[in-house]
Structure 1
Amino acid sequence: MSSEKKPQAQTMIDWACQCLQQQGAAPEIAQAMAEHLVAGDLLGFRTHGLLRLRYNLQALQRGTTTPTGSYQVVSQRAAVALWDAQLLSGLFVLPQAVAQAITMARTYGTGTIVVKRAQHVAALAVYLEQATAAGMLVQMMCSTPAQQVVAPFGAKSACFSPNPFAIGVPTTTTPVLLDMSLSMTAAGKVRTALAEQRQLPYPALITAEGDYSCDPKTFVAEPPSVLASLGGAQLGYKGTGLNLFSELWTLALSDYGRAEADPADGDANTVWIQVVDPTAFAAEGQFAQQAQQLVEAVKACQPIDPNQPVRVPGEGALALRERQLQEGITYSAATWRQLQWCEEFCGVALP
C-alpha cells in the first residue's frame, strides 16, 4: 500500500461496520466495534486496531462472539459490580462499563466494575478518555482466562496471559494515557514481527530450552517459546508480581479463573475497571492542577538526547492521532493484506 493511499478514519469505521454487520453483528454492536478498533489505529496501537478485524469476523461467524444482546449484572453494591458480558464483544461492553463506573464515582467518589467473558477488548487506551473527559481518573487491568503464554520469572513454561494495564489522568491540558503490557511484549507484536519477517527489538521470548530470544519464529515452533514477564532476564520478578496482581484483581475477583474457563472462550477477557472522582478529595480543578505540575516536571527534565525531549505517556499517541485524522491512517503492507482478506471474506469492498 503506497503512502498516497492513506484512508480516512471515518471511511475505515464505515467499512469495518459493514463487514461486522455482514457477519451478523447488531448495528449498535458493529458500530462500537468498528469505532474502537479504528481508535486503536489512530493512537498507534497497530496490533489492536483493524488488524484484529479478521479475528472478530471469524468469531462472529463461528458463534464465539455473541452478535446481539446485553451483558448480565451478576452482583452489585453501591459502588462495585460484576458483569458477565456473555461473550459479547468487549469493544461494545467496555464503554458501557466505564460509563457506569463514572456514574458510581459521581455519587460515591469511586466506582469499580469487573467484566468477565468479554470477547477481545483490543487496546485499553481507547477507553481511557471517556473518563478523563469527565474529569476523572481511570485504571484498567485485563487478563485472558483461557490463555497461558507468559512465563513467571525463572520459568520456561507459561502461567499468565499477556495482561495489559492502563491508566488515564486528567490534567489542565491533554490527559496522561498509559497502556502497557505486563509481559515484555504482547503476542500480537510477536505475530506482527513474524509476518513482517523481522526480529523483536529485545529478547522478549523464552524458548523451550530456557534461553531468552528475539526470534519470533520460536513463538510458532514446536514446542513454542513463551513471553517473558516485564523486566526480562534480569528484573522479571517485578513483572511476575505485577502479573499476579493483575490476575488476582481480574480472574480471582470475577470467580472465573483458568480452572473454570471454557477453552472455547479463546481470547475472551476479564477486565477490572476503577474510576475515581478527584472532587471527592479536593476542590474542583485542584487535582488537574497538581497533575499538570507533575507532567511539567517530567517534561522539564534534561534529556539524554537533545533531539528527543522527555515525554509523558500518551503524548506521542495523541499527536499521532491528530496527524492521522488530518492525513489518513497509515497501514503497513502486512496489515493491508489482512484487510484484503476481510474484504474477500465479507464481500465488502475496501475503500
Structure 2
Amino acid sequence: MAGAPVPGAALAEFAARAFTSLKVPEGDARAVAELMVEADRLGYDTHGLFRLRQYVNRLRDGGCNPAANPHVLRETVATALIDGDNGLGQLAMAQACDLAIIKARQAGIGWVGVRGGNHAGPAALYVRPQARAGMIGICAAVGSANHVAPYGGTDLLLGTNPIAFAAPGGADPFVLDMATTVAAMGKIKTLAQKGEPMPEGWMVGRDGKPLTDPNRKDEGFLLPIGGPKGYGLAMVIGLLAGVLNGAAFGSDVVDFTKDTESPTNTGQFVAAIDIAAFGDLGDFTATANRVFAEMRASTPLPGYPAVRVPGDGREAARTQRVADGIALHPALRAELDRIAQDLGIAAL
C-alpha cells in the first residue's frame, strides 16, 4: 500500500543530494534526478526513484563515472555516435535525444547511437520529446543485465532489451514502451520489494517449470514475448543498440546490479523521424487520431475493459502527480531512508 504522496520537487532534490554527495556535478545531478522523477510522474515506477539504490551503489563502488563527459565520437548529417563516458545513463541519452531531433529537422531523420552508457530509466523518456516536436520517436537499449536465454536454450545471454515508439496524437501522444520479455525485471524487483508474488508465465526455472517467487529470480530466466519472435526481436535490438555502437551484447553484458565496480558499456539508440519530410503533419495527426478513435470504439470482449491505445491516460496521470505528488510504497520509502543514512545526507 502506497504512503502519502511526496512532491516531485522534493524527490528530485533528494536524488540530486544523493548524487552530489558522490561527486556528481550539481547540474548533472539535477538533470538526472529530474528525469528519474519524470519517470515516476508518468507511471514508470520501476524506472524512477526505485533505481536510485542501483545508481548510488555503482557511483560509490567505481562502476559509474560521476564526472562523465558524454561526447560525440563521429557524426554525419543524419547520424551520430555518442560515448557516454561511463556516466549516469540519462546524461548521454538526453543528449542523444536532443541531437536526433536536430538532425531530423535537417535531414528528415536523425539516428544517434550511444556506447559507454549506463541504465537510463524508461525508454519512453527519449521518445516523448519527438512526439511533442511533431516527429516519430524510436528508442531501444541492450538490457543492463542478462536475464533471458536464447529461445530453447538455458544460458543467460540476452537482456530485456526494451524498445519504445512515440507519435503525435490528441491529449495523449501514442507511446509504446515495452520490454521484449513478458515482464520487465524491474517489475519483478518491485514485487520482491513489496513481498508480492509474480504471475505464472513471467519466468521459468532451468527445469522449465514456472517461477512465481520474485526472490528466486536468479534461479531461472525471463520469458520472451511471443516465444521465438520475442527472442528474435531482442537479437535485432542487440545488433542495433549494441554491436552497431561498439557496445556490449551477449556474454559481454555486465550485470549492473551484481557488479557495481565494472563499466557496463551499455548500448542504446534514439531516432527521430520528421513527419513533415513525408507529408503534412496535420494530415498525419488527423488520420492517426481517427484510427485511434476507431480502436477505442471497438466493442470489448466479454469481461474486458474498454479498448485503449498505447499511451492513453499518461498525461492525465502525470498532471495529477504533478499537482498531488508521487505516492511511494513503504518499502521504497524505507530504502530511500537507508540511502540517506548510508550517504550521510538529509532524508526526504
Task: Return the TM-score normalized by structure 1.
Answer: 0.91
Instruction: Show the 5 A alignment for 1:1-351.
Output: 3=3, 5-144=4-143, 147-220=145-218, 224-231=219-226, 236-258=227-249, 261=252, 263=254, 265=262, 268-304=265-301, 308-351=305-348
Q: Conserved in 2, the CA contact under 8 Å of 1:173 and 1:292? A: no
CA offset at residue 260 of structure 1? Answer: 8.9
Worse-superposed segment, 61-70 or 251-260: 251-260
**SS of 1:326 mapped into structure 2:** helix
**SS of 1:47 mapped into structure 2:** coil
In structure 1, what is the equivalent of residue 257 of structure 2?
A: none
**SS of 1:151 mapped into structure 2:** coil
Q: CA RMSD in A?
A: 2.1
Q: Distance in 2 between matches of 1:318 and 1:209?
A: 43
Q: Conserved in 1, the CA contact under 8 Å of 2:84 and 2:115? A: yes
* Structure 1 segments unaligned to the other structure (5+ residues): none
Q: Distance in 1 between matches of 2:301 and 2:29?
A: 45
Cα distance change, pair 240–102 in 1 and its aligned pair in 2 (3 A) = same
Q: Conserved in 2, the CA contact under 8 Å of 1:117 and 1:265? A: no
Q: Distance in 1 between matches of 2:211 and 2:252?
A: 30
Aligned residue-pair number: 342
Cα distance change, pair 147–69 in 1 and its aligned pair in 2 (3 A) = closer
1:122-171 CA-to-partner distances (Å, cap 9, x unmatched) read 11112222211111110011004x73221222223322111111011112
CA offset at residue 306 of structure 1? Answer: 7.7
Structure 1 counterpart of 2:43, one-letter code: G
Q: What is the identity percentage for the equivalent residue pairs of Structure 1 and Structure 2?
A: 27
Q: Conserved in 2, the CA contact under 8 Å of 1:200 and 1:215? A: yes
Task: Return the TM-score normalized by structure 2.
Answer: 0.92
Q: Conserved in 1, the CA contact under 8 Å of 2:115 and 2:246? A: no
CA offset at residue 47 of structure 1? Answer: 1.4
Structure 2 counterpart of 1:334, one-letter code: A
Cα distance change, pair 323–172 in 1 and its aligned pair in 2 (3 A) = closer
Q: Distance in 1 between matches of 2:2 and 2:197?
A: 24
* Structure 2 segments unaligned to the other structure (5+ residues): 255-260
Q: Conserved in 1, the CA contact under 8 Å of 2:43 and 2:314? A: yes
Structure 1 counterpart of 2:117, one-letter code: A
Q: Conserved in 2, the CA contact under 8 Å of 1:184 and 1:204? A: yes
